[in-house]
Amino acid sequence: MPITYINIEWPDNQKDQVYSPSSVINEYLKPGESLSLEEFLTRCTTGLNEASERVRLKFGYSCTSAQAESSRISEKCQNYDAKKIVKIV
């Protein structure tokens, strides 16, 4: 499973990366997209859950790093209005 990093730009122009243990995240977050914070969080959470499930199917346990990343992103999203835009770069 290739570890994948998705580059993003938060509404305040801060640069960040989303870590995923699987490239499946690329199906949810695509470079060039601008998503409302709400949509970004939904896609990110769904993609990281799927990535964690792929790890579980392959190794027999879920990926705690994907779960931690999902929590980190969710916490970070609380700093912004849900209508703000996150850019996938």
* Predicted pLDDT at 82: 86
* Predicted pLDDT at 58: 94
The ranges assigned to domains in the chain are 4-39+52-80+83-88
Two structure tokens written together for 22:
């699987």
pTM of the full structure: 0.93
pLDDT digits (tens, 9 = 90+) for 51-84: 999 999 999 999 999 999 999 999 999 999 988 9
Task: Pick the closest to residue 3 from 70, 37, 64, 51 (CA basis).
Answer: 51
Does the pLDDT value for residue 28 go beyond 80? yes
* Predicted pLDDT at 25: 97
* Predicted pLDDT at 53: 95
